[in-house]
Chain A
């Protein structure tokens, strides 16, 4: 119920009064915004250590979060909900978490996000794609969208707005989750608490300017539409189940489960047949766009839709098949160039259950001490979220709610672990796709059933649990910022390189951690030498110059880039001892083969001009 409906519910002639709790909540939110604004001016990024952004955030930032949380908890546990206030609090929370880095840095985070700018820029320059360049050109939906936004708005580059990707995507995730959670429970407090917890536990970092964030949003929308407008309303008969399950007892049990789940689920929103037709007309193009925009999301979509159909939750029986057709057609015809060159490892990675590698997964044995703490807290935090969800699920079950849809949507993404390792990232993506429903159950721990009226202990528990989750989020999400963010001098150095290097040049760096591939990216080759297939360091210290020249010999010019972010990366992750890196820098500096061509406070660039010309690639 909103404040408007509260007012309407009052007897005629009564004065419209705003409850004290709501007034206090608004005041607290406004104070929180003011404190947050003050905190932004007190941050000195150069002091950031291996605990990431939290090492430089002033106390006012934390105070702002506490005030905001108290305001949210007060608004949540009023006798009558004020949803606009809760929405305001959620928006402010997202601004605090995802707007703060962008406002402080003013540059795009994550080295890999810069390449996404480069793909958009490729489309802007050529007005086409080249499927032979890389995988992005085989699933170009998101990048075509980015190019349309950038060109139509009269901007030169997507860099001007891409940094706001996390804030934007989290806002729309929250909108989609509100839609989904309203189909899981009639308890509006649980709906808002679940979404609040989602915002506090989304540490995976897949919400930046990327096809994954875009695909994830559309995935949530499709799930939300299916659960709201295409819900099964009567449980299947035993005979219908026995067509698929031969065992009599199992069929009975299944029917019992479906009936309980159906009876405890809230009714969908009232809808006319033309609305359902309209919803299907929204879903169909979305499925097509998802198939054309991302490699993984279509498979998550197929699995989730199929599971919802099989478990008698939604009536959209043809959607999983249709998505299979869309995905298969796209892969066989429009992503054929990628498949031709990569099918061997895609097939190879099927069933690679324990192949896990990602920037999010740090080897604690070699990472810096602070970074090891960050990694351990991050893992404990993730386990804690899982534990909260488990306990919340048990409380819901004991309260008589068989949340079959939510449980299904947790299990399905993790089941995908068996299907493919997705370059070692599947565990993180599975968590990301399951997270909304984990957060829903975490909320259910405090609010398992609808409870009317204000509750002191629930308010206190909401504040405490939010505080605990926020601490975890600070470590898990902000803990690697020293290597994820780039200073303006680093960006200036990268711009020097990409604006002026002759076509066909090779850019050698110690690690991949610098702004790269955002401009003219198809003309250059990148080669990090501390990791990956071109690894030279740390073992090749003695023959470094000779090895570099061998690497560069087929290119007209070779550049070696040293930068603050790369040093931070080496130090934090423990890729090699820092003195080894310093020695490599010294070797290049003293070499007669290389010439210093650019230098600022955070980066140096050395160039080697190929006497033979080099043909480039």
Chain B
């Protein structure tokens, strides 16, 4: 599987897994690991992946920075409008991760159709 496909698929898988575990209210180390990995990498990677950067390390560190930024903004919006809901926040972040990943897949398939490598 090409990177342009497996990366968005992985992001979506983590998004669904994180939301599912939070919905099921599992109190396990596995849930903590999945949710942490999702919050740390996925919201940012869903969009940084669209930029087509060559340097993987730079892409990863930007994804972490953007993920933490989007997580913080989501948490602060909930805090200031008085609707603190970690599950809701997680779902919002999962939603935007899915949007970003879908865009990645769409752009990759358009590039394939257009003949761009």
Contact = CB atoms under 8 A, between A and B. Distances in A.
Interface string B55-80: 10110111011101111111110111
B27 A154 contact: yes
Contacts of A172: 61, 64-65
A178 B60 CA distance: 12
A147 B58 CA distance: 28
A218 interface: yes
A149 B74 CA distance: 12
Contact of A152 (B22, B66, B72): B22
Nearest to B89: A148
A147 B21 CA distance: 17
A145 interface: yes
A301 interface: no
Given A218-B65, A286-B69, A149 B36 contact: yes
B85 to A, nearest CB: 8
A292 interface: yes
By DSSP majority rule, is chain A's interface helix, strand, loop, or mixed?
A: helix
A153 B32 contact: yes
A87 B57 CA distance: 10
A194 B100 CA distance: 35
A334 B15 CA distance: 32
Given A217-B65, A221-B61, A269-B55, A148 B71 contact: yes
B104 to A, nearest CB: 13
Contact of A145 (B51, B53, B71, B84): B71
Contacts of A612: none
Given A152-B22, A175-B57, A275-B53, A282 B65 contact: yes
Interface residues of B, number: 48
Contacts of B21: 154
Interface stretch (A136-144, A349-357, A477-485, A603-611): A136-144
Contacts of B105: none
Contacts of A217: 65, 68
Contacts of A160: 32
A176 B61 contact: yes
Contacts of B48: 278, 282
A229 to B, nearest CB: 10
Contacts of B47: 278, 281-282
Contacts of B70: 285
A288 interface: yes
Contacts of B106: none
Interface residues of A, number: 49
A402 B11 CA distance: 42
B72 A293 contact: yes
A456 to B, nearest CB: 29
A155 interface: yes
A175 B64 contact: yes
Interface string A118-159: 000001001111000000000011101101110111110000
A529 to B, nearest CB: 35
B4 interface: no
B29 to A, nearest CB: 9
B62 A144 contact: no
A145 B72 contact: yes
A272 B25 CA distance: 44
A435 interface: no
B111 interface: no
Contacts of A272: 52
Contacts of B25: 154
Contact of A289 (B26, B73, B79, B85): B73
A444 to B, nearest CB: 21
A218 B53 CA distance: 19
Contacts of B74: 148
Nearest to A156: B27
Nearest to A334: B80
Contact of B68 (A179, A214, A281): A214
A144 B70 CA distance: 12
B46 interface: no
A151 B86 contact: yes
A128 B32 contact: no
A515 B15 CA distance: 36
Contacts of A178: 57-58, 61
A455 to B, nearest CB: 25
Of the listed residues B27, B51, B89, the one surrounded by the most CB atoms of chain A closer than 10 A to its CB is B51
B66 to A, nearest CB: 5
A-B residue pairs, 9 tightest by C-beta: A127-B84, A151-B86, A175-B61, A144-B75, A153-B32, A148-B75, A221-B65, A153-B35, A145-B72
25 contacts: A123-B79, A126-B84, A127-B84, A128-B79, A140-B79, A144-B79, A148-B75, A154-B21, A154-B26, A154-B27, A154-B35, A175-B61, A176-B61, A176-B65, A179-B61, A182-B58, A217-B65, A270-B54, A278-B51, A279-B51, A282-B66, A286-B69, A289-B69, A292-B72, A292-B76
Interface of B: 18, 21-22, 25-28, 31-32, 35-36, 39, 47-48, 50-55, 57-58, 60-62, 64-66, 68-76, 78-80, 82-87, 89-90
